Structure 1
Amino acid sequence: MRQKRGGNSMIQDYECRPEDSDHGMLEVIRTYQLPVPEIYVKMEEILRFAKLEKEQNRKPFCTIPFDHTLEAGAMGGNVRYGNETAGPRAEKPICQSLEELKAISGMDFDSGRMKETLDVCRELRKQGEEVLFQMSGPLTIWNTLIDVKHILKGIRKTPDQMEEIFGMIETEMLRLLVEVKKAGVRLVSYADSAGSVRILGPKSMEWMTRTFTAPFLKKAADILGDDMAMILCPKTVFALIGTDLGKRGECPFPGEMTYQEACVCAIGKAQFPSQMCINRSGTKITNGKLMTIEIKESHA
């Protein structure tokens, strides 16, 4: 972990490790020769893939969606669905400027892949399965819609315009969280890997944490209520702690269990479990305490 200074804050960078990446998904596709792109876009195939992946990787929940292009696709972005060696990723960006990004329509929940995905969440919950819904952060979503250099430049040169664009994406992400809750999902993970301190730089990372991340998580907490938990990526946690907008806490749980099991156990007890990367499926916690974070009031 490297420390980087930004303004008065000190934001650590979290290095993603091999065990943090979800290779398990592609392994399942190869093992069962699952059809691409159907496993990303058709309800029955998404459902089958989610259950097989849970079983194969011995997880306490089904992970949905399987990649980080769902939100951008629902906003009209171009997605290439890959094959058994690479998952879905961004195709050619549909926006060439921040003005075009601002003019983009909101997420469509009633058709296409997003509708199928939310329907799968409903069906899995009906079948008694626990579901982890993977939410992406703004930079990760925009990465599919526009060349991110426009965003980085915007944060530096036209912060007021960027604040407006962040406000628009916040609205869409909160709308999505409401839909996910309506589908019966109790567990969400939040990560913005394209928005790390290494990519943004310490000053812009601090600005984004104050302008977007902390306020967004505060509003998300109101939607989560007592029925849901949102697992935060270590990159987000370090940004909150480094800007003094997050405070460490802990949630007790009985006996020894994996991090993923402890996160399920935290539903209704803690809103933001945040001890490690959620992709570390086998990592055990032996001390009966799950690290959490509380979002402090922002005084940007």
Structure 2
Amino acid sequence: MSKMIDFECTYDNSVGMSKEIAEKTSLKFPQAYKSWDSMAQLAIAVKERDHASFCELPFCHTLEGEALGGNINYGDENIGPRAKDYICTTAEEILNLPEIDYTIGRIAEVLKACKYLREEGENVVLYISGPFTIMNVLIDPRHIFKIFKKNPEAMKAILDKFRSEILRFVKEAEKSGVNMISYGDSTGGLNILGPKLAEKVVEIFTYPLFKSIEESLRDETIVLLCPKTTFALLGTDKAQWEDINLGTPMKYPEACVKIIGQTKFVGQMCIKNKEFTLKNGIIKTVKLA
């Protein structure tokens, strides 16, 4: 087996905005994070500020946790939505949470914003969180590790629950026209879980999740993996690199747009690193075993 290595994340989970964007859009915060039309305005403003080739939604990693019943502090223009108070302390409480209803709440507004932006001709990156990032909104991490250690079967049931939800979210995203899905779970990285648990998570959750996504994903959609996830798959021999020659040096985000339809997974760099350049004109895609 290959050795699992970590990727050092240098980007915050809460994106937030800036005084410049707040003034440019004249939107009021935190209300701007709650309705589809204001989110679409913000996404376009951020795209223009960053000279990016796509719009990005949402502006935090609390969306799924809130949709499952989590309490959220919506923040302001400087700090985006973030977790407030935990609502669970046991595995049973997590397992008893109802399925996400994608027709109501902020998650529905995000999907509406995605649909609007796509209809306006924009490429749209939708950020989808992994299970540990979602649980970070719902339960104190100390309880998660306790469940893992004392009741691995309950932990597997929890991960099965979140795998089902993520697959449903991917399908809803595609219905809304989303053509770029970014997946990350930094809270469940090697540096936090440790090698033994990280390997176990790949075996029972990450690899099965992406095999299911691979089977159902449209050719017009690409999944942008957080490098932490990529290296976890590579380090457990569940994936390998496969090169695509771009023909010319290119910034990583632009390259990800260019190869839509040629592969289903990329993940050599964080998509938020807008200036990372593929100087040799080759982008590494991720081919699952």
- Same fold (TM > 0.5): yes
Q: CA deviation at 1:286?
A: 2.3
Q: Which of 238, 247, 251 is the aligned partner of 2:240?
A: 247
Q: Which of 201, 206, 218 is the aligned partner of 2:194?
A: 201
Cα 1:29–1:154 shift into 2, 3 Å: farther
TM-align CA RMSD = 1.6
Partner of 2:178: 185
Do the aligned residues in 2 keep the contact of 1:247 with 1:293 (CA within 8 Å)?
Answer: yes
What amino acid sits opposite 1:26 in the alignment?
Answer: M
Provide Cα deviations, 1:114-150, integer angstroms capped at 9, x if missing partner.
Answer: 1111011111011111100111100000100111222
Provide Cα deviations, 1:51-70, integer angstroms capped at 9, x if missing partner.
Answer: 00000011100001111011
Q: CA deviation at 1:26?
A: 2.3
Task: Report the TM-score when normalising by structure 1.
Answer: 0.91
Q: CA deviation at 1:30?
A: 4.6
Q: Which of 219, 224, 228 is the aligned partner of 1:226?
A: 219
Verify: 1:26 aligned to 2:17, yes or no: yes
Provide Cα deviations, 1:138-192, integer angstroms capped at 9, x if missing partner.
Answer: 0000100111222222222211111111111111110000000000111111100
Q: CA deviation at 1:15?
A: 1.2
Q: Which of 127, 136, 145 is the aligned partner of 1:134?
A: 127
Q: CA deviation at 1:225?
A: 3.1
Query: Which residues in structure 2 correspond to 1:150-189 (within 5 Å)?
Result: 150-189=143-182
What amino acid sits opposite 1:203 in the alignment?
Answer: K
Q: CA deviation at 1:220?
A: 1.0
What amino acid sits opposite 1:16 in the alignment?
Answer: C
Structure 1, unaligned runs of 5 or more: 1-7
Query: Which residues in structure 2 correspond to 1:9-24 (within 5 Å)?
Result: 10-17=3-10, 20-21=11-12
Task: Report the TM-score when normalising by structure 2.
Answer: 0.95
What amino acid sits opposite 1:85 in the alignment?
Answer: N
Do the aligned residues in 1 keep the contact of 2:14 with 2:80 (CA within 8 Å)?
Answer: no
CA distance in 2, matches of 1:146, 1:232: 25
Provide Cα deviations, 1:234-270, integer angstroms capped at 9, x if missing partner.
Answer: 1111111111111111122232221100001111001
Partner of 2:52: 59
Q: CA deviation at 1:21?
A: 4.4
Structure 2, unaligned runs of 5 or more: none
CA distance in 2, matches of 1:216, 1:268: 20
Partner of 1:3: none
What amino acid sits opposite 1:172 in the alignment?
Answer: E
What amino acid sits opposite 2:238 in the alignment?
Answer: L
Which has the higher mean CA deviation after the structures are superposed, 154-163 or 133-142? 154-163
Q: CA deviation at 1:9?
A: 5.7
Partner of 1:86: 79
Q: CA deviation at 1:11?
A: 1.6
Cα 1:117–1:23 shift into 2, 3 Å: closer
CA distance in 2, matches of 1:24, 1:145: 20
Count of equivalent residues: 287
CA distance in 2, matches of 1:11, 1:157: 25
User: Per the alignment, in what secondary structure is the counterpart of residue 149 of structure 1?
Assistant: helix
CA distance in 1, matches of 2:23, 2:15: 10
Do the aligned residues in 2 keep the contact of 1:9 with 1:206 (CA within 8 Å)?
Answer: no
